[in-house]
Amino acid sequence: MKLALVFNPFKYKIHEENILIVQKYFGLFPPLSLAWVAAIAEQAGHEVIIIDSRTLRLSKKETLKRLNLFKPDIMGFMMTTYMFPDTLEWIRYLKNNLNIPVVIGGYNLRVYPRESVSFSEIDFGVLEHAYYTIPALFKELVKENPNFDNVPGLVYKKNKKVIVTPHFQKIDFNKFPNPARHLLSNELYAEFPTERKNFTVMVTSLGCPYNCRFCEAGNTNYNARSPEIVINEIEECYYKYNIREIDFFDYEFTCDRERVLKICNLIKERNINISWACRSRVDTVDKVLLEKMKEAGCSRIYFGLESGVQEILDKVGKGVTVKQISNIIDICGDLKIKTLGFFLIGAPGDTKEIIKKTVKFAMGLNLEYVQFSKCLAKPLTSLWEDLISKTGVDYWKEWVLGRETDRVLPRPWTELTNDDIDKLTKWAYIKYYSRPLFIVRALLNLKSFVEFKRKLFAYIDMCFFQKNIAVKDEDFLAYNENVGLLSKIKISGYIRKLKLYFKKNRKSLKNK
Ligand code: B12
C-alpha cells in the first residue's frame, strides 16, 4: 500500500489556552505522531510519504499536486480535538479530488472515536496506537473482500453504523520503531527557545501518574522506552539527521529517576554533543539528578509551576509546595540549566490579587522564560467533567461534530471573567518580559542571529499587536524563519507557473 500522511496548518482559536502571539511564535515542530505512524507502516512493508504542509506553507492545492505525483492508495491525518475542523476541511478538499480512503488517528480518537469517524469523508479511525492497527488494516485493505472486524482498535462504518473493534494487545512502547525522520525536512524545525539546529522533538514515554485537575494526561499509564532504545534514537538523530538540539516532549521526563540517570550516562559514554530540554515537576528532580542531567547536555527544563500561591497549587491538585518550586529553580540557576515556568491564569480560586501575586512570584524566580496559559476545561480533565455536570453540555463533543462555534468556554471555578483573564494574561507577559535587567541578560545569552530575530519580533508583537481580548484571526500563520528556503521553493514554483503560461498561450503571444 502507498500511504500519504498530511500535516495541515491550523488557525488560532478563541478557545485556546494560549494568547495569539504566543501561539504564533510557539514554533514549527516535526509532526511526530505522523512520523511514528509512517515508521510503523514502513516496518510492515508499505511505502509512505509525509507532507508537512504547515511547515512548508503549502496550500491545499499545492498539497494535492504533491499527492497526485505520489499516487497514494490511502491518506492519513492526525486529529486533535481543538483543531479537528481545520483538519476536516483539508480532508474534505483532498478526498473530493483524490477519492481514496482516509484514515485518521491521534488523541481525539481516544476521546471521541465515534464522533470523529461519523463524517462521510472519513473511512477509518485508529482508536489507540497505530502499532497493531495499521498493519492489520492494510492487510485487509489489499484483499478483495476485506473484513475489518478482526482489526484491533479500529473505528469504521458498516452499513452506515460506526463500529469500534476491541484492542486487546498490550502496548509496549519499546517495540515501536523510531519515528521516520527520514521523511521530514529536519532543518526546517525550531521552537521559540531553540539555540542550536537541527532541532527535533522526541517522546520517550507515554502517560503520567500524577493527577493535576487541568491536564489530559493525569493518571494515565506510564509506559517508558528503555534507556538503550532512547540512546539509539538520540544517536540516529545526531548522526543521520545532524540534530544538535532535542526537546523531550514526554509529559514527565524525570518520572523514573533511574531511567533518566541511565540515559544521561549513555549520552556521556557515547560522547554525543547535543543540547536537550525536557518537561519536569519540581518534586521529581533533585540536585544530584540535575547535575547529571546538566553534564549530559540538559540545557533547559520546562517546569509546570502553575501558581505562586499555595492555595491555588492545592486546588489544582499539583501536590507541590511554593518552597519546593523556589528551591529547585535556584538549584537549576546555580547549575546553569535554563528554566521555563508554565503558569496558569484563571485557575480554580484565582482572583486578580492572586494572579498579581503569581506574576510577582514568577519575577522573583530565576527563570529564563515563562508561559502564562489560560486555564481551560480540556477533554478528559476533571475540570471538564465538572463543567459538563454543571452545564449539561459537552462543548468539545459538539465542537468535533461541527455543532458548536469557536467561543470561550465558561470558567465557573473562578470569579474572574474571561475578558479579565485575557487582559491579565497579556499584562503578565509584558510585565515579565519588559524588565530592563531581564532584557540585558536575554541579549547576552543569545546564540545566533535567527534566535535574536525570533525573540525580538515576538516581543514587539506582544507589546503592540496582541489584542486585549481574544479575537479570530483568519490570516493566522505561525512564524516561520525559513524565509530563504521557502522563497526558493516558492520561486521555483513561480517559474514553473510562468513556463506553463507561455506554453499554453504560445499561439496568441506569437500573433501579438
Ligand atoms: C509532538 C506534539 C505536537 C507537535 C507535532 C504534532 C504531532 N502530534 O505530531 C506540535 C507542536 C506541532 C503539536 C501541535 C499541537 N498539539 Co500536540 N502534541 C504533541 C505530543 C507532545 C507528542 C505526540 C507524540 O508523538 N506522541 C507519542 C506517539 C507515540 O503517540 P501519539 O501521538 O498518540 O500517536 C499514536 C496514536 O495516537 C496514533 N496516531 C496519531 N496520529 C495518527 C494519524 C494516523 C493517520 C493514524 C493512522 C494513527 C495516528 O498512532 C500513533 C503511533 O502509535 C502530544 C502529547 C504526547 N505526549 O503524546 C501532544 C498532543 C497530541 N497535542 C495536543 C495539542 C492540544 C496540540 C495543539 C492543539 C496545540 C496548539 N494549541 O497549537 C496543536 C494541534 C496540532 C494539530 N494539527 O491539530 C494534545 C491533544 C489533545 C486533544 N484532546 O486532542 C496532546 C495530547 C497534548 C496534550 N495533552 O495537551 N503537538
Ligand 1 centroid to Cα of residue 33, in Å, is 6
The pLDDT of residue 505 is 67
Collapse the DSSP code of 283 into the 3-class scheme (helix H, G, I; strand E, B; otherwise coil) and give the result.
coil
Collapse the DSSP code of 189 into the 3-class scheme (helix H, G, I; strand E, B; otherwise coil) and give the result.
coil
What residue ranges define each of the domains in the chain, with the CATH number in brackets?
A: 2-164 (3.40.50.280), 196-375 (3.20.20.70)
- Concatenate the DSSP letters of all residues of 212-224 into one string: -TT-TTTTEEEEE
Going by C-alpha positions, the residue among 377, 369, 379 that lies closest to residue 343 is: 369
CA–CA distance, 213 with 280 (Å, rounded to integer):
17
Collapse the DSSP code of 505 into the 3-class scheme (helix H, G, I; strand E, B; otherwise coil) and give the result.
coil
For the CA of 30, the nearest atom of ligand 1 = 5
Ligand 1 centroid to Cα of residue 32, in Å, is 7
CA–CA distance, 176 with 234 (Å, rounded to integer):
15
Q: Three-state SS string across 112-168, please?
A: CHHHHCCCCCCCEEECCCHHHHHHHHHHHHCCCCCCHHHCCCEEEEECCEEEECCCC
Ligand 1 centroid to Cα of residue 107, in Å, is 6
In sequence order, the β-bridge partners of residue 372 are 343
Ligand 1 centroid to Cα of residue 492, in Å, is 32
Ligand 1 centroid to Cα of residue 255, in Å, is 20
Q: What does the pLDDT profile of the chain (512 residues) look like in tens digits?
A: 999 999 999 999 999 999 999 999 999 999 999 999 999 999 999 999 999 999 999 999 999 999 999 999 999 999 999 999 999 999 999 999 999 999 999 999 999 999 999 999 999 999 999 999 999 999 999 999 999 999 999 999 999 899 999 999 999 999 999 999 999 999 999 999 888 999 999 999 999 999 999 999 999 999 999 999 999 999 999 999 999 999 999 999 999 999 999 999 999 999 999 999 999 999 999 999 999 999 999 999 999 999 999 999 999 999 999 999 999 999 999 999 999 999 999 999 999 999 999 999 999 998 999 999 999 999 999 999 999 999 999 999 999 999 999 999 999 999 999 999 999 999 999 999 999 999 999 999 998 898 899 999 999 999 999 999 998 888 898 998 886 666 555 555 556 656 666 676 666 666 65
Residue nearest to atom 25 of ligand 1 (CA): 33
Residue nearest to atom 36 of ligand 1 (CA): 129
Ligand 1: lining residues by beta carbon, under 6 Å: 5, 10, 16, 29, 31-34, 36-37, 76-78, 80-83, 103-108, 111, 126, 129-131, 134, 201, 203, 216-217, 249, 251, 379
For the CA of 79, the nearest atom of ligand 1 = 78
CA–CA distance, 243 with 248 (Å, rounded to integer):
13
In Å, how far from its chain's centre is CA 19? Answer: 16
Long-range contacts of 488-491 (CB under 8 A, 24+ apart): 489/56
Residue nearest to atom 26 of ligand 1 (CA): 33
The pLDDT of residue 486 is 64
The pLDDT of residue 68 is 97
Ligand 1 centroid to Cα of residue 31, in Å, is 8
In Å, how far from its chain's centre is CA 95? Answer: 25
Ligand 1 centroid to Cα of residue 501, in Å, is 41
| Per-residue cell: 19 | 494568547
CA–CA distance, 450 with 39 (Å, rounded to integer):
32
For the CA of 251, the nearest atom of ligand 1 = 57
Q: Are 285 and 314 in contact (CB under 8 A)?
A: no
The helix-helix angle for 418-433 and 352-364 (nearest 10°) equals 20
CA–CA distance, 511 with 495 (Å, rounded to integer):
23
For the CA of 7, the nearest atom of ligand 1 = 77
For the CA of 35, the nearest atom of ligand 1 = 9
Best residue for ligand 1 mutational test, from 34, 37, 80 (most atoms within 8 Å of Cβ): 80
Ligand 1 centroid to Cα of residue 500, in Å, is 39
Going by C-alpha positions, the residue among 29, 23, 32 that lies closest to residue 371 is: 23
Ligand 1 centroid to Cα of residue 7, in Å, is 11
The pLDDT of residue 509 is 61
245: amino acid identity, one letter: E
